[in-house]
Chain A
Amino acid sequence: MATITEADSEKKDDVEENMKPDTFNAEPSWSFSFAVAIVQATLWWFRYVGLFFRRIVGPSRVSQAAKSSPKPRFWRVTGIENGERLCALEWLQKASPGGHSLAEVSAQRLCATLTTFGKPKPALNGWSVESAFLGITPLSSPADAAVDVVAITGLGGHAMGSFRSTDGSFLWLRDVLPKTLPKARILTYGYDTALLENESKESIRDLAKVFLDALAGFRYRTKTQRRPLCFIAHSLGGVVPKEALAIADLNQDTDSHEVVLSTYGLILLGVPNLGLRHPQLMTMVEGNPNQQFVRDLVVDEDEAPSPYLNELTGKFSPVCSRVTPPFHIVSYYETERSPTAKVIYTTFLSINTTDGSIKATRRITI
């Protein structure tokens, strides 16, 4: 898994910037320039009137500015040898004083995360930097850890970005939780569910299988197969461990079966057990290979859950009560409406450094 991620990141994440395509008229005529001048004058006038009004309103100006300011990005550094721990800590302190992490991925290797505006230059040659965060990323790994806490992001989410603060600098999973829970290993799981230009035909069941395999593998590698587990899941990220536990329950493979027996509880935040209400989503992915994926997740016109979700709800209860005592479940639900009419598109420009090709990818966040 780790090697695929590294190879991927080399291609994808070398330079990623917001792209704003502008079109220019090559040889504007005189009348055209005149029209442009008038439009510009009008715009300036509106701008000053706007400034005047904003001065009266006051505070909204501040929030506007905060919203539009660029956000720092999260980076994952892999390939750090155990012996390079001190060097890595020193480098992280300097590169990302606001927040970083260094945790074990195996007996020999460490993985670091940091938050910076530009792509950080690794201190040593063997380290590689990427920002996709696919698979499991440990955010802490105390030597005397007694529990694994696994965070799972939602649809179109990011293993780090989905949990960050408004200004992008603070990440509770990394910057507070490890200090509060010194005896827990905090892990975050990332998977690719970019909804546009997605050629993937992966189903939710496939996502769950990959997740289960990654988790069981990680615990086997770090010799912690029987360590108690707690899941923290947001949105679709809650459907994934539910399905994974159902699969593992039927599985004869010991490593994944131990995942079920080790699970103590699930904290589910806005998990669409009976489907997600998002009419625009269905039209957006119409005809795409991932159409079925969205159909499985979104409620239909009559607000009824998909056959897939119905089946999962049915088969999860017996899994839950198979263990004694049953899983401890806490669910949170939202109390404010979401602006679903507004879909956030982000266009990334990525330059492949090996062959110099440029690729634009559109992502949506819901």
Chain B
Amino acid sequence: MMMVTEQSAERIGHIIRDAEHLPMSHTNHRGLVRFDHADDPRYIPLQDRIQRQVEKAPEVVKRRFYHIQGQQLSQSRK
């Protein structure tokens, strides 16, 4: 039995844009986070995804806080 169906895994919110949905080949529910070695062909793409997020995150989050501080500053001036 498919414990979590593709639809269930994808339905993160009612309207979520820009989310990416990917199958993991030859993998059942518990296998999704279990890998036997660093060169596991199922693990490498996942690691690449994590790496991409880690590299992109600082710039985006910095800008977010910067933007909020700017908003708060302009509010206090008013």
Given contacts A165-B36, A181-B54, A317-B15, contact A336 B28 (CB under 8 A): yes
Least CB distance, A163 to chain B, in whole angstroms = 5
- Bound CA–CA A261/B62 (angstroms): 10
Query: Could you say which interface size class chain A belongs to?
Result: 35 or more
Q: Roughly how many angstroms separate A314 CA and B25 CA in the complex, as a whole number?
A: 30
Interface CB pairs A-B, < 8 A, 11: A153-B33, A226-B65, A228-B58, A264-B56, A268-B12, A274-B8, A276-B8, A313-B14, A324-B64, A324-B67, A329-B12
| Cβ distance A76 to chain B, nearest Cβ, rounded Å | 19
* Residue B53 lies at the interface, judged by CB distance under 8 Å to chain A: yes
- Per-residue interface assignment for chain B, residues 1 to 38, with 1 indicating a CB less than 8 Å from any chain A CB and 0 otherwise: 11111111111111111111111111111111111111
Q: Identify which of A147, A165, A314 contacts B58 (C-beta below 8 A).
A: A147
Task: Count contacts on B: residues with CB < 8 A to the other chain.
Answer: 56
B9's contact among A242, A268, A313, by CB below 8 Å, is which? A268
In the complex, which residue of chain B has the Cβ closest to the Cβ of A227? B61
List A contacts of B38 (CB < 8 A).
172, 175-176
Which among B7, B9, B64 has the greatest number of chain A C-beta atoms within 10 A?
B9
A242 CA to B23 CA, complexed, in Å: 21
> Does A278 sit at the interface, judged by CB under 8 A?
yes
Contact indicator A330/B49 (Cβ below 8 Å): yes
Q: How far is the CA of A332 from the CA of B36 in the complex (A)?
A: 18
**Interface membership of chain A positions 315-335, coded 1 if the CB is closer than 8 angstroms to chain B and 0 otherwise:** 011001101111011111111
Residue ranges of A at the interface with B (Cβ–Cβ < 8 Å): 146-147, 149, 153-154, 162-167, 170, 172, 175-177, 180-181, 183-184, 226, 228-230, 232, 234-235, 242, 261-262, 264-265, 267-278, 305, 313-314, 316-317, 320-321, 323-326, 328-340, 365-366
- Complex partner residue of A234 from B1, B32, B50, B67, CB under 8 angstroms: B32
Query: What's the nearest-Cβ distance from chain A to residue B2, in Å?
Result: 6
Which one, A181, A316, A337, contacts B50 given CB within 8 A?
A181
Alpha-carbon distance A264/B18, docked complex (angstroms): 13
Q: Which residue of A lies closest to B30 (CB)?
A: A338
Residues in B neighbouring A164, C-beta threshold 8 A: 34
Q: Do A261 and B11 form a contact, CB below 8 Å, given A172-B43, A267-B49, A336-B27? A: no
- Say how far B61's CB is from chain A's closest CB, in angstroms: 4
Contact of A270 among B20, B29, B56 (CB under 8 A): B29
For A335, what are the chain B residues with a Cβ–Cβ distance below 8 Å? Answer: 23-27
Q: 4 new A-B pairs (CB below 8 Å) besides A264-B53, A333-B24?
A: A242-B12, A264-B61, A272-B8, A277-B4
- In the complex, are the beta carbons of A336 and B57 less than 8 A apart? no
* B29 and A230 contacting across the interface, CB-CB below 8 Å: no
For A314, list chain B residues within 8 Å (CB). Answer: 13-14
Q: Which of A163, A264, A331, A338 contacts B1 (CB 8 A)?
A: A338
Q: Is the CB of A317 within 8 A of B16?
A: yes
Closest residue on chain A to residue B36 by CB atoms: A165
A128 to B51, CA, bound (A): 34
Which residues of B lie under 8 Å from residue A333 when comparing CB positions? 4-6, 9-10, 21-24
Q: Assuming the A-B contacts A320-B13, A320-B16, are A228 and B4 also in contact, with contact meaning beta carbons closer than 8 angstroms in the complex?
A: no
